[in-house]
Amino acid sequence: MSSSSSTTKEQPVPQHIAIIMDGNGRWAKKRGLPRLAGHQAGTENLRRVIRACVELGVRYLTIYAFSTENWGRPREEVDGLLKILESVIERELVELHKEGVQLRHIGRLERLPENLRRKVLDAIELTKNNDRLTVVIAFNYGGKDEIVHAVEEIIRGGTKPEDVTEELISQHLFTAGIPDPELVVRTSGEMRLSNFLVWQAAYSELYITPVYWPDFGREELVKAVKAYQQRNRRFGLLEAEPPQD
């Protein structure tokens, strides 16, 4: 193990890291390649990041793979992204299962083609008892849509307005049972959440890097974790004063 990762382990590592995997298209454009080549390179990079999370002791990794707004992209690109997701499941599932990775999905599966929806559900079922690392795939996901869905479920349950609490809403989110991320990473330098985990990231530490997602490998993840370890997380409170002599 390199000295950089051993140094990182001397301090608490975030148990849940969420990543907005941005910059695939720009990575491809810089190289004179079609945008889908960038998305393909991004999926190849995901292997490195998953291994790094296991090595560092991260327990949850949430990746923003496809937003509810992404359906508005050119049809060729949307179809390509769906095919990439399908091929990744087919190619990587067995190895991820062997390595103890549990796969979960957040978002809505209804718009996915039936064969792809079935493959996602089968992957979730196969890996449901694994506990080394939980990889949460946000596909056809939007933070606002998630909150609307939660409110709908609460109303259907007949809950009185005065009984609605933050905890109750959390229990009806797609992420129910998953701890909120301590660290949200965005690659490519954009300074926004883009409708990603808008409820869960209320007090997450943000790490923005200009590095495009296909180039965000193990060492870049270590940099993000080190930056997180330098933060003072107060959750809206004042910093505790040192004890008086």
Q: How many residues does the chain have?
A: 245
Residue 189: which region, alpha, beta or left (left: phi > 0; alpha: psi -120 to 50)?
Answer: left
Which residues 6+ apart lie within 8 Å of 133 measured at CB? Answer: 50, 53, 54, 58, 59, 60, 61, 99, 100, 101, 102
Strands (E), 128-226: 133-141, 183-186, 205-208
The one catalytic residue among 22, 24, 140, 180: 22
Pairing mode, if any, of strands 205-208 and 16-20? unpaired
The two three-digit tokens of residue 173, written as one number: 């989110």
Helix (H, G, I), strand (E, B) or coil at 16: strand
SS3 assignment, position 24? helix
Listed in sequence order, the DSSP H helices in 31-158 are: 35-56, 75-98, 114-127, 143-156
Tokens of 124: 């979730």
Residues facing residue 65 across a β-bridge: none
The active-site residue out of 24, 70, 129, 232 is 70
70 has catalytic annotation: yes
Distance CA 219, CA 4 (A): 8
Residues designated catalytic:
22, 70
